[in-house]
Amino acid sequence: MLKRLESYFDYLIRERNYSVHTIAAYRDDLRQFSQFLGKHFGNASFKITEIDQLTIRLFMGDLLDDGFTKRSVARKLASVRSFYRYLVKTAVVRHNPCLNIVTPKIQKKLPVFLDEPAIEKMMSLPDLTTVDGIRDRAILELFYGAGIRLSELLSLKLADLDFHNNTLRVMGKGRKQRILPLGSKAKDALKAYLDRRIELVARGVSREQAPVVFLSARGKQLYPKGVYLIVNKYIGAVSEIERKSPHVLRHTFATHLLNHGADLRAVKELLGHESLSTTQLYTHVTVTRLKRIYDQAHPKA
């Protein structure tokens, strides 16, 4: 089974373009699944075709007994289901034993986002007398102005920026490319950063890393934790929300668009969502806001 898992992870990296964090999560989930199978089959050798629906259900029950939340169990089931889709695709097995397994129902959390005054204040915080501060401002403006994912920002190349047409090209999940509009503030922030970026390159960046847009203070390609710390610092200065990740700015991008009347399907395309139902989660946020405004403003509310 170990050989099958490694070929699966290689497939996720090469063909599905999954991020390092996603691969790590899948590895952890499937490692737990492998450990359960060893226990389930008494550490005896078993064929991958022997794993049936009952085995999957027992795995889920084992996780719940160990104290995992329904959300965690649902994610681990999704990992196993994805692995078996790959096995069916590569003709290793004929049927996916997870197909008719019902995912544990979990309460969907509404997206956390910043209000518009907080965004305005946050954008004024980076120190624009330093190249690091100018870079930070460009990162914040791009997250909020384009709604891109962390992985999409990190992989952004200089050739992906088209200032003539005010667009940028990103490579999303599953190697799906999309062209996004580049707003005036994000464009200005990017141009200001690119004018000073050579100062970071001069600090020592490899030939392979040179085309990458965002560099660290040491002239290396930015890594996920580095961007997270940057965003966390600035969000923390303007808000007391618990989550302060780059994804909060992506949520804010979508919520503010819908608050100002953007079409839901257009927002779906901008975010790169495969399903409209994923984007519809943001409508709950806007409806909640409308109800609050109604309660505050209507005399009969």
The active-site residue out of 121, 173, 178, 203 is 173
Per the annotation, the verdict on 173 as an active-site residue is: yes
Which regions of 102-159 does DSSP assign to beta strands (E)?
Answer: none
Per the annotation, the verdict on 40 as an active-site residue is: no
Per the annotation, the verdict on 273 as an active-site residue is: yes
Burial class (CB in 10 A: 0-12, 13-18, 19+), 109: exposed
Q: Is 127 helix (H, G, I), strand (E, B) or coil?
A: coil
The active-site residue out of 135, 149, 197, 268 is 149
Per the annotation, the verdict on 250 as an active-site residue is: yes
Q: Any idea of the CA torsion for 294, 108, 175, 149, to the nearest 10 degrees?
A: 60
The active-site residue out of 196, 203, 247, 289 is 247
Tokens linked to 126:
């980076």
If phi over 0 gives left and psi between -120 and 50 gives alpha, with beta otherwise, what is residue 175? left
The active-site residue out of 185, 196, 273, 289 is 273
- Name the nearest CA neighbour of 23 among 99, 85, 83: 83
Burial class (CB in 10 A: 0-12, 13-18, 19+), 11: middle
Q: How far is CA 258 from the centre of its chain?
A: 20
Q: In angstroms, rounded to a whole number, what is the distance separating the alpha carbons of residues 27 and 47?
A: 20
Q: In angstroms, rounded to a whole number, what is the distance separating the alpha carbons of residues 46 and 1?
A: 9
**Cβ atoms 40, 57 nearer than 8 A:** no
Per the annotation, the verdict on 149 as an active-site residue is: yes
Q: In angstroms, rounded to a whole number, what is the distance separating the alpha carbons of residues 178 and 246?
A: 19
The active-site residue out of 76, 250, 251, 268 is 250
Active-site amino acid positions: 149, 173, 247, 250, 273, 282
